[in-house]
């Protein structure tokens, strides 16, 4: 049977940076995120008799060898879990160009797992889907459930999965993803994280992350935008401090990133309620409430060096779709 799934990318308010178990992708800490409406992946999977390997293609682009190998490795994990023997034809498409700088591994692995599970015609719970997606790429487990999501770190594989804290309609937030550099990441998240223990700041990060998690849970519960913003900004700076103090150090920001960080603080002084967060790259996510989107975009217009911006609202999690890609 052929099945298609759509899964969103997500932005973390409390970040995942560092693994307790590299192979299983068990994280050092729990994290909390929001699914993104404008950055998603659509994937069609069909298990086919007669294939001697997985046949993987991406619409409008090309997977390199290591990407194909990572997809096949994940398909092996799925096959073992579901008891499927056949290799699969896999076709995938991103809503954003790979070069746009939006995370594609989260949406990519979430869509792959959901489509493969449906194609297998087995009954698979949301928790299992999230757990399986995590093994492909840690942050992908957060793209399975709806809306605002927590990934519980867990001590073993079955305990490390994400669940929805609130559905996407719960809070009308925006994530304006500001693209300042559309080149591919210089250092992948997986490679960067392997060196996390070389940072003298890691322990300080892990000591403070529980408070950040509590604050973000509280901020979501009470729709307290200031608490959410202050916590998420500090969290992003905290994670980047660890990255910058690893050996060798990783500097993901560029001069336009810095200019936006500086401007956001100025805009708040001017009364525009907006905060930033940044993942493993130079692009900046501006988080505001829906009612302030226009004012933030107006302010952003004055920043030199912005290539484009992608406006996201909170989105539902991975789901089945009827239009197949082949
Ligand atoms: C900085 O999930 O891409 O975006 O598990 O190695 O595939 P792997 O890492 P990945 O890491 C995401 C890191 C981050 C922070 C976050 O999204 O929590």
pTM listed for this prediction:
0.97
C-alpha to C-alpha distances, 116 to 16, 72, 82, 84, nearest whole angstrom: 26, 12, 9, 10
Closest CA relative to residue 178, chosen from 67, 86, 295, 287: 287
**Contact yes or no for 31/14 (Cβ under 8 A):** yes
Angle, CA 231 vertex, CA 208 and CA 315 arms, to 5°: 120
Question: Does ligand 1 have an atom closer than 6 angstroms to the CB of 15?
Answer: yes
Place 101 in a pLDDT band, splitting at 50, 70 and 90: low
Question: Does ligand 1 have an atom closer than 6 angstroms to the CB of 79?
Answer: no
**Ligand 1 centroid – CA 138 distance (Å):** 6
Question: What H or E segment, with its residue span, contains residue 94?
Answer: strand 87-94
How many other C-beta atoms are found inside a 10 Å radius of the C-beta of residue 274? Answer: 23
Question: Does ligand 1 have an atom closer than 6 angstroms to the CB of 133?
Answer: no
**Ligand 1 centroid – CA 242 distance (Å):** 14
CA 188, chain centre distance (Å): 13
What does the alpha-carbon distance between residue 212 and residue 13 come to, in Å, rounded to a whole number?
A: 9
**Ligand 1 centroid – CA 187 distance (Å):** 12
* pLDDT attached to residue 103: 61
Pocket test for ligand 1, best of 12, 142, 161, 189 (most atoms within 8 A of CB): 189
b/e burial code for range 95-110 (CB count within 10 A of at least 16 → b): bbebebbbbbbbbbbb
What does the alpha-carbon distance between residue 189 and residue 46 come to, in Å, rounded to a whole number?
A: 29
**Contact yes or no for 112/136 (Cβ under 8 A):** yes
- Point out which residues pair with 319 in neighbouring strands: 6
Place 62 in a pLDDT band, splitting at 50, 70 and 90: confident
What does the alpha-carbon distance between residue 206 and residue 29 come to, in Å, rounded to a whole number?
A: 7
Query: Among the atoms of ligand 1, which is closest to the Cα of residue 239?
Result: 1
- Point out which residues pair with 32 in neighbouring strands: 14, 150
Place of tokens 């693209």: 179
What does the alpha-carbon distance between residue 144 and residue 54 come to, in Å, rounded to a whole number?
A: 23
Separation of first and last alpha carbons in the chain:
12
Q: What mean pLDDT do residues 159-174 have?
A: 98
Q: Which residue minimizes the CA distance to atom 4 of ligand 1? A: 279
* pLDDT attached to residue 66: 87
What does the alpha-carbon distance between residue 214 and residue 18 come to, in Å, rounded to a whole number?
A: 20
Question: Does ligand 1 have an atom closer than 6 angstroms to the CB of 16?
Answer: yes
**Does pLDDT of 100 surpass 60?**
no
What does the alpha-carbon distance between residue 234 and residue 50 come to, in Å, rounded to a whole number?
A: 53
C-alpha to C-alpha distances, 153 to 24, 157, 163, 266, nearest whole angstrom: 12, 9, 11, 36
**Ligand 1 centroid – CA 63 distance (Å):** 19
Beta-carbon contacts of 283 under 8 Å, excluding residues fewer than 6 positions away, are 101, 102, 177, 178, 179, 180, 181, 257
Question: Does ligand 1 have an atom closer than 6 angstroms to the CB of 190?
Answer: yes
DSSP-derived 3-state class of residue 35: strand
Place of tokens 């932005």: 11
Beta-carbon contacts of 24 under 8 Å, excluding residues fewer than 6 positions away, are 134, 135, 157, 160
Pocket test for ligand 1, best of 11, 13, 16, 149 (most atoms within 8 A of CB): 16
- Point out which residues pair with 87 in neighbouring strands: 48
Question: Does ligand 1 have an atom closer than 6 angstroms to the CB of 196?
Answer: no
Question: Does ligand 1 have an atom closer than 6 angstroms to the CB of 189?
Answer: yes
Q: What mean pLDDT do residues 56-78 have?
A: 90
Could you report the per-residue pLDDT of 241-300, keeping only the tens digit for each?
999 999 999 999 999 999 999 999 999 999 999 999 999 999 999 999 999 999 999 999
What does the alpha-carbon distance between residue 269 and residue 257 come to, in Å, rounded to a whole number?
A: 19
Question: Does ligand 1 have an atom closer than 6 angstroms to the CB of 27?
Answer: no
Token pair recorded at residue 81: 């879990």
Could you report the per-residue pLDDT of 102-125, keeping only the tens digit for each?
667 999 999 999 999 999 999 999
* pLDDT attached to residue 182: 76
What does the alpha-carbon distance between residue 144 and residue 163 come to, in Å, rounded to a whole number?
A: 8
* pLDDT attached to residue 273: 98
Could you report the per-residue pLDDT of 167-196, keeping only the tens digit for each?
999 999 999 999 998 776 678 899 999 999
């Amino acid at each position: 049977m052929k099945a298609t799934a759509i899964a969103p990318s997500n932005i973390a308010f409390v970040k995942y940076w560092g693994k307790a178990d590299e192979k299983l992708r068990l994280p050092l800490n729990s994290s909390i995120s929001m699914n993104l409406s404008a950055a998603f992946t659509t994937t069609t999977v069909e298990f086919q008799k007669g294939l001697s390997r997985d046949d993987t293609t991406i619409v409008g682009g090309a997977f390199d060898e290591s990407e194909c190998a990572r997809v096949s490795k994940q398909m092996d994990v799925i096959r073992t879990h579901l008891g499927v023997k056949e290799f699969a034809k896999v076709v995938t498409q991103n809503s954003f160009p790979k070069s746009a700088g939006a995370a594609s591994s989260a949406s990519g692995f979430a869509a792959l797992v959901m489509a493969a599970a449906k194609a297998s015609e087995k009954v698979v719970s949301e928790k299992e889907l999230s757990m399986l997606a995590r093994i492909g790429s840690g942050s992908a487990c957060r793209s399975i459930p709806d809306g605002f999501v927590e990934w519980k770190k867990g001590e073993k594989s079955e305990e490390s999965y994400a669940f929805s804290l609130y559905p996407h309609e719960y809070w009308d937030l925006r994530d304006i993803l500001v693209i300042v550099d559309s080149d591919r990441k210089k250092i992948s998240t997986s490679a960067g994280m392997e060196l996390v223990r070389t940072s003298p700041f890691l322990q300080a990060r892990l000591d403070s992350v529980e408070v950040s998690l509590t604050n973000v849970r509280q901020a979501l519960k009470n729709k307290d935008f200031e608490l959410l913003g202050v916590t998420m900004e500090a969290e992003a700076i905290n994670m980047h401090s660890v990255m910058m103090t690893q050996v060798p150090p990783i500097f993901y920001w560029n001069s336009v990133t810095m200019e936006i960080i500086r401007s956001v603080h100025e805009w708040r002084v001017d009364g525009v309620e907006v905060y930033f967060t940044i993942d493993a790259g130079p692009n900046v996510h501006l988080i505001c409430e829906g009612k302030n989107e226009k004012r933030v975009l107006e302010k952003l217009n004055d920043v030199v060096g912005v290539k484009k911006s992608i406006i996201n609202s909170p989105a539902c999690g991975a789901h089945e779709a009827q239009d197949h890609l082949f």
